[in-house]
Amino acid sequence: MITTTDLSKVYRTKDRDITALDGVNLHVAQGEMYGVIGQSGAGKSSLIRCVNLLETPTSGSVTVDGRELTALARRGSRGRPKRPTPQLRAARSSIGMVFQHFNLLSSRTVRGNVELPLEILGLTRRERSRKALELLDLVGLADKAGVHPARLSGGQKQRVGIARALAGEPKVLLSDEATSALDPETTRSVLRLLRDLNQQLDLTVLLITHEMDVVKSVCDSAALMRDGRVVESGTVPELLATPGSELARELFPLGGEVGGPERTAVDITFHGDTAAEPVVSRLSRAYDLDVSILGAAMDTAAGKQVGRMRIELPGRYEDNVVPIGYLREQGLQIEVLPATEPAAAPAVSAAAPATGLAPAAGASEPAPEVAK
Ligand SMILES: Nc1ncnc2c1ncn2[C@@H]1O[C@H](COP(=O)(O)OP(=O)(O)OP(=O)(O)O)[C@@H](O)[C@H]1O
Ligand SMILES: [Mg+2]
């Protein structure tokens, strides 16, 4: 549904050029909820603005719903489009955009705000009114049609923003940090709404966030950006099955101090019906091992139960080849952590995530729930 190929964006400022996107290849399938995550300045907003050609890419292409938008845009001088071509404008109407700060007009009522894009689309007053009320109903705000935005809560404002984004009956919704100005409870309800719309309307959603929780609770797929590049991407289950995946580590941070050179620490990822604990106790019985559980997290990602557990076996890796082989045979994904000196930081640490992403606003990491 959305494909970017070798997408680059260089901002030319007076004193220097800033490369915000550096050869981004992204593929978002029809009907997916796709999360893009990354530190501040990684290029997330530039990416989303290039996807709907609010920014003109410096090079590369963007295709949305089978139409190559970059080919429809007529390049103006200094990289800015002079005016969107009628074809580009038509193609853009299949893309809705939701903003972090809502961008509602304070002088208009809620209904008036939702009607705005409908006016631009040339609907009659009656059609506009009917459509706006229908959209407000869809986002649960039918009773607020006549009030002004100043009288709404943040969550309600964002619902208006979403209703407005849906006015052109888009196939794709782009959301740039739509929930980062909201408290955790409101964030959850807005995300639920996006997920419902994604399913009811078969809407493809590309959302930018710096909160891992958002990815975990609603996204089917995710990409991690750093310095203008996509450094990891895939469906959440694929990412979790990728040894060494930074996103998997961020999604399911595992604490637990790794004991030292005479111990072997192993991260186990299990999906759906494979439960880790019986496997661990069987391992312990079969090989007469004292298995320590250093950390565990169970959660739902992309609608499926996923868990991770970090265990430690006595002895070096060489001494544990057979038990580790046993775990692999159980269909579990196994990652052996590199042996470390006791004082050295473990390769994976929940306290110092490798990506250095900002923690979720106002939400400290919950204590990991141990697999039952
Ligand atoms: N209009 C602009 N002119 C010049 N430089 C820009 C412009 N917009 C963004 N940049 C630069 O491009 C880089 C990527 O910025 P971008 O806004 O895409 O990051 P981001 O990942 O969305 O960050 P954040 O999480 O803070 O929103 C940054 O170095 C930023 O300073
Ligand atoms: Mg941004």
- What's the confidence (pLDDT) of residue 71? 87
- What's the confidence (pLDDT) of residue 302? 64
- What's the confidence (pLDDT) of residue 275? 61
Decide if 335 contacts 235 (C-beta within 8 A): no
Can you tell me the distance from the alpha carbon of 340 to that of 349, in angstroms, rounded to the nearest whole number? Answer: 13
Instruction: Indicate which ligand has the atom closest to the C-alpha of 55.
Output: 1
Closest CA to 117 of 181, 162, 61, 67: 162
Can you tell me the distance from the alpha carbon of 370 to that of 342, in angstroms, rounded to the nearest whole number? Answer: 25
Give the residue whose CA is nearest to atom 24 of ligand 1. 40
Beta bridge partners of 229: 226
Tell me, in angstroms, the distance from the centre of ligand 1 to residue 101's CA.
17
Instruction: Indicate which ligand has the atom closest to the C-alpha of 46.
Output: 1
Give the residue whose CA is nearest to atom 17 of ligand 1. 45
Give the residue whose CA is nearest to atom 2 of ligand 1. 11
Assess whether pLDDT exceeds 50 at residue 372: no
Query: Which structural domains are found in the chain, ordered by start?
Result: 2-240 (3.40.50.300), 254-372 (3.30.70.260)
> Does ligand 1 come within 6 angstroms of the Cβ of 40?
yes
> For residue 120, what are its two tokens?
């631009």
Which residues are CB-neighbours of 281 under 8 A, at least 6 positions away? none
Instruction: Indicate which ligand has the atom closest to the C-alpha of 44.
Output: 1
Beta bridge partners of 61: 5
For the chain, give the number of residues. Answer: 372
Instruction: Indicate which ligand has the atom closest to the C-alpha of 41.
Output: 1
Atom of ligand 1 lying closest to residue 43 CA: 18
For the beta carbon of residue 366, count every other beta carbon within 10 angstroms: 9
Tell me, in angstroms, the distance from the centre of ligand 1 to residue 46's CA.
6
> Does ligand 1 come within 6 angstroms of the Cβ of 326?
no
> Does ligand 1 come within 6 angstroms of the Cβ of 44?
yes
Mutate to test the pocket of ligand 1, among 8, 46, 78, 214 (most ligand atoms within 8 A of CB): 46
pLDDT digits (tens, 9 = 90+) for 252-297: 777 777 777 788 999 888 876 666 567 888 889 999 999 988 888 7
Nearest-5° Cα angle at 131, 125 to 137? 135
Using the structure block, give the residue that is written with the tokens 């990491």: 365
Can you tell me the distance from the alpha carbon of 34 to that of 48, in angstroms, rounded to the nearest whole number? Answer: 12
Decide if 212 contacts 37 (C-beta within 8 A): yes
Give the residue whose CA is nearest to atom 31 of ligand 1. 41
Residue 215 banded pLDDT, cuts 50, 70, 90:
confident
Nearest-5° Cα angle at 185, 183 to 190? 90
For the beta carbon of residue 364, count every other beta carbon within 10 angstroms: 7
Tell me, in angstroms, the distance from the centre of ligand 2 to residue 152's CA.
25
Closest CA to 53 of 15, 25, 92: 92
- What's the confidence (pLDDT) of residue 344? 42
Atom of ligand 1 lying closest to residue 38 CA: 21
pLDDT digits (tens, 9 = 90+) for 23-54: 999 999 999 999 999 999 999 999 999 999 98
Can you tell me the distance from the alpha carbon of 122 to that of 270, in angstroms, rounded to the nearest whole number? Answer: 53
- Reading phi first (left if > 0) and then psi (alpha if -120 to 50, else beta), residue 201 is in alpha
> Does ligand 1 come within 6 angstroms of the Cβ of 346?
no
pLDDT digits (tens, 9 = 90+) for 328-361: 888 888 888 887 654 444 444 333 344 444 433 3
